[in-house]
């Protein structure tokens, strides 16, 4: 049990963060859901925000309960990488990235990026650890003739 404790703690915090953030997209749609997605410049924010919120809720719960955690981590990695590119890379560049607005922050460049992206980067590396630890289960069906 002691050897598994660090990974259990990682799963708890990652699962809770995504569960809460997904729920907040529904509870505060103007601030954290469709309204925020529209302000960032994402297309179809009224569809995309609930979709991302649902993925975060289901993925967070799966990680928390360790049910297909690797598969859930892969989905959540897609979400977090997209969030990093859309919201944090413009801070790194100091200019808008295509249609995605440049957030107003105190500092731009590497230090501003690292400061603003600290939670996203932590979630990214924790999700990679969960994916490595759990592996992918989807598509790995045992056939009736394989036994066991």
121 has a pLDDT exceeding 90: yes
Q: What's the length of the chain?
A: 148
* Interval 6-19: pLDDT, tens: 999 999 999 999 99
pTM of the predicted model as reported, rounded to 2 decimal places: 0.88
Domain boundaries defined on the chain: 5-138
Helices assigned H by DSSP within 66-106: 69-83, 89-93
CB 91 within 8 A of CB 102: yes
The 10s digit of each residue's pLDDT in 18-38 is: 999 999 999 999 999 999 999
């Amino acid at each position: 049990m002691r050897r598994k404790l660090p990974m259990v703690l990682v799963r708890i915090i990652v699962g809770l963060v995504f569960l809460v953030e997904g729920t907040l997209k529904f509870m505060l749609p103007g601030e954290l859901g469709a309204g925020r997605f529209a302000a960032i410049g994402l297309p179809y924010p009224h569809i995309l925000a609930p979709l991302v919120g649902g993925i975060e809720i289901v993925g967070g719960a799966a990680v928390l309960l360790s049910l297909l955690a690797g598969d859930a981590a892969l989905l959540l990695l897609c979400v977090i990488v997209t969030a990093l590119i859309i919201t944090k890379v413009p801070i790194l560049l100091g200019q808008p990235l295509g249609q995605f607005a440049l957030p107003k922050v105190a500092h731009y460049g590497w230090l501003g990026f690292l400061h603003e992206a600290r939670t996203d980067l932590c979630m990214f590396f924790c999700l990679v650890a969960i994916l490595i630890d759990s592996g992918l289960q989807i598509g790995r069906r045992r056939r009736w003739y394989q036994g066991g």
